[in-house]
Amino acid sequence: MEYLAEIYETLTESEKRVFSYIYQNQARSAKMNIQDVAKAAAVSKTVVINMCQKLGFEGFSDFKYYLKSQKSVLPEELPLELDHLQNMILDQVKRTLALINADVFQEASRSITGSKTVYIVGRGTSKAVASYLERMFLMLGIKCINLTDFNLIGAVVENIDINETLIVISLSGETQKALEVARIAKARNAAVISITGFTTNTLSRISDLHLYCAADQVDTKSCDLHSRIGLFVVADILMNFVRQRKTTSIFKS
């Protein structure tokens, strides 16, 4: 489904919900009928058909045939052997790379390099990604602060201004603290960049720029053992876009 992801931003919110469900459950969706898919995505059958047609298919049956031809395998159907785990990791990286929109990353790097201060917020397990990104930006000469103290996040963001950028990292895109600080930053006219799993989520809708990664599961409310490999891939690509922009500006000067 790699090239189909390029059309994602042209879909309506309801159509995005269908696409996200199918993208996360390709093998399962290939065995479902249109009623089941519509129910799973909480939309009507008409929305499913419209989404399929926008993607260039005649209808859901045509799209389903395409899914079957991809020979996707559900991660939970694989035995936990090393070669299968390797394939799962490689698949997540490949699917994340297929979601990369160079124009959005260019715009994000422009915002970051043009900011007097860049703030990063990552909650839960995603804190590790925020820490990695902070270290890389500091090494590139970007004034960057990773807000790890829960009590300080609100106070800092309440004083953010139009010349600063906030990067919010949340696999689900529904972490309440992340949404709270993103809304405050938006209200203060700061640039907001989100890095989330490839789903329809509140954080990406709030953000000025949204970067997506592939993830097999994004619900982090219960036992959060979901892989953050996709988030690290996006963080690394963003860092390289920023490095390229910094290098280019040095040569221009």
Instruction: Say what the pLDDT of residue 130 is.
Output: 94
Q: Is the dihedral of CA 130, 136, 142, 145 positive or negative?
A: positive
Class of the 98-252 domain? alpha beta
- Burial label, 126 (beta-carbon count in 10 A; 0-12, 13-18, 19+): buried
- What residue spans of the chain are helical by DSSP H? 13-24, 26-29, 34-41, 45-54, 60-69, 82-98, 102-113, 127-139, 150-157, 176-187, 202-206, 229-252
Residues 6 or more apart whose Cβ sits within 8 Å of residue 237? 100, 105
**pLDDT tens digit sequence for 141-195:** 999 999 988 778 888 888 999 999 999 999 989 988 889 999 999 999 999 999 9
Residue 236 predicted with pLDDT over 90: yes
Q: Which architecture does CATH list for 3-72?
A: Orthogonal Bundle (1.10)
Counting residues of the chain whose pLDDT is more than 70, the rounded percentage is 86
Q: What is the C-alpha to C-alpha distance for residues 243 and 139, in angstroms, rounded to an integer? A: 10
In the chain, ranges of CATH 1.10.10.10 domains: 3-72
Global pTM reads 0.73
> Out of 40-54, 101-115, 133-147, which region has the weakest mean confidence (pLDDT)?
40-54
Residue 219 predicted with pLDDT over 50: yes
In the chain, ranges of CATH 3.40.50.10490 domains: 98-252
Residue 21 predicted with pLDDT over 90: no
Q: Give the residue among 11, 13, 4, 18 at the shortest CA–CA distance from 202.
A: 13
Instruction: Say what the pLDDT of residue 234 is.
Output: 96
Taking all residues of the chain, what is their mean pLDDT, rounded to a whole number? 85
